[in-house]
Structure 1
Amino acid sequence: MRKRVYTNYIAKHIQSYSPIYSFIMVLFVMGIIFGAVIVNSLSVVQKEDLFYYLTHFFGQVADGKTGSAEELLKLSFFHNVKFTGLMWILGISIIGFPLILILLFLKGVVVGFSVGFLVNQMGWHGLLLAFVTLLPQNLLFIPVYIFIAVISTAFSIKLMRKIFIRQGFSFYFVPEFARYSLSFIAAMAVITLAASIEAFVAPVLMKSIIVSISS
């Protein structure tokens, strides 16, 4: 029964904000494509330098010289909470919602560049590495980024409509802000799970793939 209520709530939420979701998702995909295109625009020297640092990092992973899982968990958690928290704060600031879109686009660029560079330099092995080391946690991180971007943009638009178009638009700040805050807390729970995958699962998968490629 509770699962059905949650499902109905999620479906209603997506339906209510479907135009914003569509725009945000297209923007994020454009960021990914742009990030992949940037890889091809790098010079040979730049690619060689980046790949040198990448292979050095892979060597550390293979030797087990990376940080502890607990440290990785903290780094990942706080990094993503700061990123989503910034978007959440920008939603309250009213005029900051364009920056929300820029932040999400840049996050897409980072994802696209990471995958594109691995594939460009390592071919199928790079694609496999990207699949096992970037995909598991990003299956949770990316929906959270999109969700926070949507609710932040929507909240900012509601505030602007309340301020500049007061007639015919009902907006009660306290309950709306309470829902807005609860949404961010729920997102933090998902971030915790995704950060745990990145800290405890991804390094093991990465090490196994690197060892198999090197042998």
Structure 2
Amino acid sequence: MKPSAIKAYMQDHLALYIFVSVLFLIGVVFGAVMVNALSLDQKQELGRHLNYFIQNVDDGSLLGAHQEQSFRQTLGLHIKWLVLIWLLGLSVVGLPLVFVLDFLKGVLVGFSVGYLTAQYAWKGMLFSFVSVAPQNVIVIPALLIASVAATHFSLQLVKTRFQHRRGFVAQSFWRYTGTTVFLGVILAGVSLYEGFLSPYVMKWIAPMLLV
């Protein structure tokens, strides 16, 4: 894409990017605050599950055959999320749910990082940096781009509904679908990292949390 085309694209979509990014950030803050709202029993239950997971990371249980399973599960989750955004973008009615998904993604990230930090202080922050941050540096922008594409396409449907410009709608649909497929390929690459490389990185940090 030419620099001029990129500039024009950003000018046309900047407001949408700001909107979905703010929704995501609000979700992150909300997720972090939710950690403080947990009861003592809930914190202890989550702590047991987290300790079990970290022990599995430390003893290498997540390596070998488990890595392929982790890759498939992670890929499936990312693709399902992406396809859901794509489907919701095909109708004006489903558009608000795209924004809900952006907010929920922020909640998940905020809660994960917030709980690890609350449970293990700076060690939890370090663990979240190697276990949560690397893939989300790509996953989050990809999902936000998908959300903007879905919003733009849905708004285009509203604009052209009474103009009988079927060719224009078809062209926008294939561009929208092509963007989604491209993002799916990127998320597949991220899933490879999460499934096959991330366990080794987490294994390096895990002993610090078990001390």
TM-score normalised according to structure 2 size: 0.92
Q: Could you tell me which runs of 5 or more consecutive residues in structure 2 were left unpaired when the two chains were aligned.
A: none
Contact 2:32 2:114 in 1 (8 A): yes
Q: What is the rounded CA distance, in whole Å, between the counterparts of 2:145 and 2:139 in structure 1?
A: 10
Deviations 1:31-84 (A, max 9, x none): 000000000111122111101110011111111222522221111111111001
1:71 — aligned with what?
69
Instruction: Please list every run of at least 4 consecutive aligned residues from structure 1 whose deviation after the TM superposition is greater than 6 angstroms.
Output: none
Please state whether the residue corresponding to 1:93 is helix, strand or coil: coil
Contact 1:162 1:171 in 2 (8 A): no
Whether 2:45 is the aligned partner of 1:49: answer yes
Whether 2:35 is the aligned partner of 1:39: answer yes
2:171 — aligned with what?
175
Deviations 1:4-52 (A, max 9, x none): x355544432222001100000000000000000001111221111011
Contact 2:79 2:187 in 1 (8 A): yes
Please state whether the residue corresponding to 1:68 is helix, strand or coil: helix
Contact 1:36 1:117 in 2 (8 A): yes
Contact 1:134 1:202 in 2 (8 A): no
Q: What is the rounded CA distance, in whole Å, between the counterparts of 1:60 and 1:73 in structure 2?
A: 17
TM-score normalised according to structure 1 size: 0.91
Contact 2:124 2:209 in 1 (8 A): no
Q: Could you tell me which runs of 5 or more consecutive residues in structure 1 were left unpaired when the two chains were aligned.
A: none
Please state whether the residue corresponding to 1:64 is helix, strand or coil: coil
Percent identity of paired positions between Structure 1 and Structure 2: 35
Count the aligned residue pairs: 209
Q: What is the rounded CA distance, in whole Å, between the counterparts of 2:129 and 2:4 in structure 1?
A: 32
Whether 2:149 is the aligned partner of 1:151: answer yes
Contact 2:117 2:123 in 1 (8 A): yes
Q: What is the rounded CA distance, in whole Å, between the counterparts of 2:127 and 2:21 in structure 1?
A: 25
What's the Cα RMSD here?
Answer: 1.9
- For residue 18 of structure 1, the aligned residue among 14, 19, 29 is 14
Q: What is the rounded CA distance, in whole Å, between the counterparts of 1:26 and 1:99 in structure 2?
A: 16
Correspondence 1:3-14 to 2 at 5 A: 5=1, 8-14=4-10
Amino acid at match of 2:38: L
Contact 1:158 1:171 in 2 (8 A): no
Q: What is the rounded CA distance, in whole Å, between the counterparts of 1:9 and 1:181 in structure 2?
A: 19
Contact 1:115 1:130 in 2 (8 A): yes
Amino acid at match of 2:139: F
| Residue 161 of structure 1, CA deviation | 2.3
Q: What is the rounded CA distance, in whole Å, between the counterparts of 1:84 and 1:10 in structure 2?
A: 23
